Structure 1
Amino acid sequence: MAMTTPRKIQPDQQAWFHYRAGELHVEGLCLTDIAREVPTPFYCYSAEAMRWAYSILSDALSPIGVSICFAVKANSNIAVLRLLSELGCGMDIVSGGELERALAAGAPSSRIIFSGVGKTRAEIAHALETGIHQINVESAAEIEVIAEVARSLGRRATIALRVNPDVDAKTHAKITTATKDSKFGIAIDDIPELYAKAAARPELDVQGLAVHIGSQVQDLSPFRHAFASMAGLVTALRAKGLEVPRLDLGGGIGIAFGDNPGPDIAEYASIVAETVGDLGCQLTVEPGRWLVGRAGLLVTELLYLKDGQDGYVAIVDAGMNDLMRPALYDAKHPVLPFHQAKGAAASPRYRIVGPICESSDDFGAYEGLGELKAGDLLAFDCAGAYGASMASTYNSRDLVAEVLVDGDHFRTIRRRQNIREVLELEDTGNWQNGPAPAKKAAG
């Protein structure tokens, strides 16, 4: 497993995470002080980091008329959603539960987009009753179901067709969503006929197209390819007399990670402008990781050290149930020691692992952390996206807590769910008889 050194924090660039007098701080607070009040492991987010990320993206895209909807699956805590909504951000949801979270956070239903390949009839009905902005449709079969539900409610469903443009996002295979064999979207060659048929149905208000090529995209060239394909498709549909007023460009913008500086947002905005900016469409993007990824840390305590093959095995109290990305995507999260390392170049090598009874509960090998001992606190960096939202209670562990820092204040925005609360959900049903057997027909 490749070794990773700690990310060098640049206070002038990312003032929300910095060392002061050798102690790791989030904005104006020392993380050690927070850890005295909140047992580890826990997620800690910087409100200012989210505001910064939104402003950078908004400043680049608003001059070309692009709206932003946050991909709720990246971090579904309602305090995070409320913060982004108050900045003017819409919401991109993929389930009925995420719709409830967005509404609970105060997001206007008119700024909510419903994506996802497996929407149920109940979810579709609730979305229509709520009056969301649009439903992104991912198959011909889904069009039929949406039309049926809309007809039963006496409503007209506003939809966009999600296109699969067969573009490789050059990212991890498990977060690539627009290649030919992907489960997502409708093949681009099938769109014209399907779009025309849907537009002719009285239950449907077909407003445009959507596309999403993947997540944590670092090379911007696949965006150019995909957006250019969408521009060609819009032009072709309009040539057939069909209206295409909206274009949803999806998300996927990668973030700086370790020594990787991440994509240039100005270049991304230029690609949008050059490919689809002159179509006259209402443009939307749906970033998740970009808005919250760098805003979060997973704080953990080092429980035990033992000799390893090359250095030490450091066993921490955070596991793959708390941060699934390393096990699921082979992700390597930078690690920040709470006490700034001195003489880090000569410090030992640590393989950091969690307590879960799985060999995949392994966060990777690290150097440059200084001399560590049991009881030390560490923080996994760039953990604000797909961290807490993917956490579970596997091994019957507590569901991890979340904390939000804003300036020199913090508050718990999700308390730890312990085993007693989980047990209350179980063994509550009474035995029931099965259905009576059908009567055999006479004769």
Structure 2
Amino acid sequence: MDSFDETPDFVAARDHVLGEVVSFVRTLRRNGLSVPANAALSATEALCTVGLRDRAGVYAATHATLVTDARDTETFDDHFPEFWYRLRTGLEATATSDDVGDRSGSGAFYGANDGADEAVAAGGGDPAGSGGGGDDPADDAVRERRLVDHDADGGDTDETETERSRASTYSAGGAGSEVDEEGRRRPLDAAAVRQFERALSTLSGRRWTAGGGRRVDARRALRSSVSTGGAVVSLPTRERKPTAFRTCVLVDVSRSVLDTIDRGFLLGFLDALVSDGRGVRVFFFDTDVREVTDVFTASRGNPAAALERAEVAWGGGTRIGHALAELRKRWPDAVDRRTVTLVVSDGLDVGDVADLERGMTWLAGRSRAVLWLNPLAASAKYEPTCRGMAASLPYVDGLFALSGSEDLAEVARQVRRHGPHGPIGYEHDFRERTPEAT
């Protein structure tokens, strides 16, 4: 593939297409469609293949990738005309009379094949079906995404219009933004948090106490059988004695996570852990890593304001492997054999897989247990197939959903029943959840 210069017009057109696809996906989800988590990537790849000149082709490509249930076609049809209008008018606005159809201008997006190759090349990946070597296609959704906030009507403050026009995309070099809660829609249930913390305390503890547990105490059973001639009359049980939990919390604050999870819930959850635990340390990471434990300690119940005062920014891309390497080098004492490590991340990663695997090997070998809390796993259709999540999964004791307090209670239930090395994780969740897009 020939190299080309990314002119401002081309970059603007590319960002516009990506932004409108993500905005369209959000609109469909708000109207009840169960759109898969990686559907925006699939739709963009399909558009790169068919081009953007023909309405019928764009309709077929987006319908095939975004609609999973034929009964949703009517809703899709209701909203497609607006998507088509915004897509075309936006592209025409970015094109000039001299560069329409030019390979380096926004006209590249109108063509079917050559334009698709260039559009995906700009993102550092291969077009769908190209067969080109390189990165996993799932990472193309992460590689060229940036936060694009624009007002379609030039300052219209209508809430629906504002949300619709906000296209959330993510990149390795994305700029950070101020910490905010954006309104807490999911209240933090104190009882669920206590259950979660108690489960962590049993993992941190090394001592056992008799009775009340589900594990058979073989030593006590053998001792009692001496008085009955070797016959085991009863099976005594034992359980871990809870201790003050020690936890290292690694929080992915990339834009992809922040646009999936309720930010107020996340900050409240972290604030509770720091307040209730002993030796709890919190780290934010995206393309870098920084410790924010002291900020939460001094937050006085208002972590968003405390983080803002401390000039902590969040939102950008994600390099999980680099973050783990920095943690090992700069804060090696943050994790030890008494520490339960919590990783809050969607697993979307733009870093090197080898770095991620090395980092996870160290983290798993040093931690008491590694629990991964993934906001995307709240969807009934979630599968850990993205590159970063697939590479991390072998080193994780349990992968769970994290979208609200009910997920914390489910983690506690599974961990207390089976321990860190039992059959635990999102796939063992007994709850019947309706498929929801995350």
| TM-score of the aligned structures, taking structure 2 as reference length | 0.26
Higher helix share: 2
Higher strand share: 1
More RCO (CA 8 Å, sep 6+): 1
